[in-house]
Amino acid sequence: MIDIKALRENPEVGRESQRRRGADPALVDAVLAADERQRALLTAFENLRAEQKAVSRSIGKAAPEERQAVLGQAKQLAEQVRSAELEADAARTELDRLLAGFPNIVASDVPAGGEDDFVVLRHEGTIRDFDAEGFTPRDHLELGEALGAIDMVRGAKVSGSRFDYLTGVGARLELALLNAAMDRAIAAGFTPMITPTLVKPEIMAGTGFLGAHADEIYYLPADDLYLVGTSEVALAGYHSGEIIDLSDGPLRYAGWSSCYRREAGAAGRDSRGIVRVHQFDKVEMFSYVPVEEAEAEHARLLAWEEEMLQLADLPYRVIDTAAGDLGASAARKFDCEAWVPSQGVYREMTSTSNCTTFQARRLGIRERVEGGSTRPVATLNGTLATTRWIVAILENHQQADGSVLVPEGLRGYLGGLEVLTPLERRG
């Protein structure tokens, strides 16, 4: 939720944020009008209630001949107070509805535009020249099937399209990735967490996921619970309604969970292999920090993501996501995209978002500051490893004979295994 006080003081910042997102700036004026109406009705209600209390107190002091008139006045005021309260409550509900649909204010230096208007900040690593090496790279599914690592056919048989089994070295490779990610998170001061994958509607809404992309989320109506698409949701909800202590530095959590996404609207896109599936696993970083430290923490999360990509020896680029491609809760987002040889494109492997105080306001997460008052904290998140990385690892480290070299940084997590060998060549 945005800071309504800040919006009152400088509405043009909100309008410009909306324009840069490609959204309607008139939402700012609608919010401000609803806010003004709600405050006016609340003041009227409080004034009437104060008058009613004063009249009620005067009944016992009234002369006998005046008491009936005072009683009548008190009854009339009570009816007016009830009516005024209902009006004020309705105005509050309307304001809350508008605020719930208002996305976070984007940072001033975020690129304007949509999905294709990102800015490339840098490239890291070296893209292999397969032509010079004398062979055409296979895609990850062909490699994975030959290695006995990915089984899409049986995944579809059991669960439908966009489901898979990771088998043998595929399962081991995912566990290696996630364990390496968790080890690095712990070394950086994160508390490891195995998080719930089902959450209440108020937690899902509080993180900002029930807006324009709500159709991406699996919902269980019989239980009134949502399946998470990232452990960010559960980690954000962990301290909901609390006053937390940040005097000794940020609170950092690393959540390991299965994640679920409906991929609504993705028909025909990335339907081959495990690039875009309904279920995957992920280690997600989540930080609670004072708002003044959010930008620096964002840079740290990005650096930790890059360390993991370098551990996997993947060529990648870092992009500054354009405002129109940000989720509702993000003020700024950096993506790391690894090179996928078979497609000749970069694909997202990690993203890290600075959500400023947006989620904390919605979830009631505050810190106590000097003088004893409280204020919302800032929240940030970042992917440290996920199932999709297997796509980039298999394709970038493949050899002409169909084998795949294990990145040196992951070999210790695979019992020292250096090469993944096709099933047909195993003894």
The answer on 350 and 238 residing in a single domain is yes
Residue 370's pLDDT band (boundaries 50, 70, 90)? Answer: confident
Please count the structural domains in the chain. 2
Tell me the mean pLDDT in the region 119-128: 97
For the domain that residue 192 is a member of, what is the CATH number?
A: 3.30.930.10
| Tens digit of each residue's pLDDT (9 = 90 or more) over 49-98 | 898 888 777 876 777 877 778 788 878 888 898 999 999 999 999 999 99
d(CA 411, CA 408): 5
Residue 269's pLDDT band (boundaries 50, 70, 90)? Answer: low
**Is residue 111 domain-resident?**
no
d(CA 427, CA 417): 16
The answer on 128 and 93 residing in a single domain is no
Alpha carbon separation from 330 to 290, 302, 322, 326, 355 (Å, rounded): 16, 15, 11, 6, 4
238: three-class secondary structure by DSSP:
coil
Closest to 338 measured CA to CA, from 366, 307, 317: 317
Question: 270 or 144: whose pLDDT is higher?
Answer: 144
The answer on 360 and 282 residing in a single domain is yes
| Tens digit of each residue's pLDDT (9 = 90 or more) over 224-254 | 999 999 999 999 999 999 999 999 999 999 9
Which among 66, 100, 134 is the end of a domain? 100
**Is residue 105 domain-resident?**
no
**Is residue 108 domain-resident?**
no
Question: 344 or 76: whose pLDDT is higher?
Answer: 344
Residue 305's pLDDT band (boundaries 50, 70, 90)? Answer: very high
Rounded to two decimals, what is the model's pTM?
0.92
The answer on 48 and 188 residing in a single domain is no
The answer on 142 and 91 residing in a single domain is no
The answer on 80 and 154 residing in a single domain is no
The answer on 409 and 280 residing in a single domain is yes
Q: Tell me which residues are annotated as active site.
A: 261, 276, 348, 351, 388
For the domain that residue 20 is a member of, what is the CATH number?
A: 1.10.287.40
**Is residue 23 domain-resident?**
yes
d(CA 286, CA 394): 28
The C-alpha angle with vertex 230 and arms to 225 and 231, in degrees rounded to 5, equals 85
The answer on 153 and 21 residing in a single domain is no
Which among 39, 66, 100 is the end of a domain? 100
Residue 210's pLDDT band (boundaries 50, 70, 90)? Answer: confident
**Is residue 110 domain-resident?**
no
The answer on 188 and 83 residing in a single domain is no
Averaged pLDDT of the chain: 94
**Is residue 131 domain-resident?**
yes
Question: 358 or 58: whose pLDDT is higher?
Answer: 358
Strand order in the sheet with 198-199: 198-199, 225-227, 219-220
The answer on 268 and 225 residing in a single domain is yes
- By residue range, what is the domain housing residue 177? 119-425
Residue 318's pLDDT band (boundaries 50, 70, 90)? Answer: very high
- Contact assessment for residue 405 and residue 399, using Cβ atoms and an 8 Å cutoff: yes
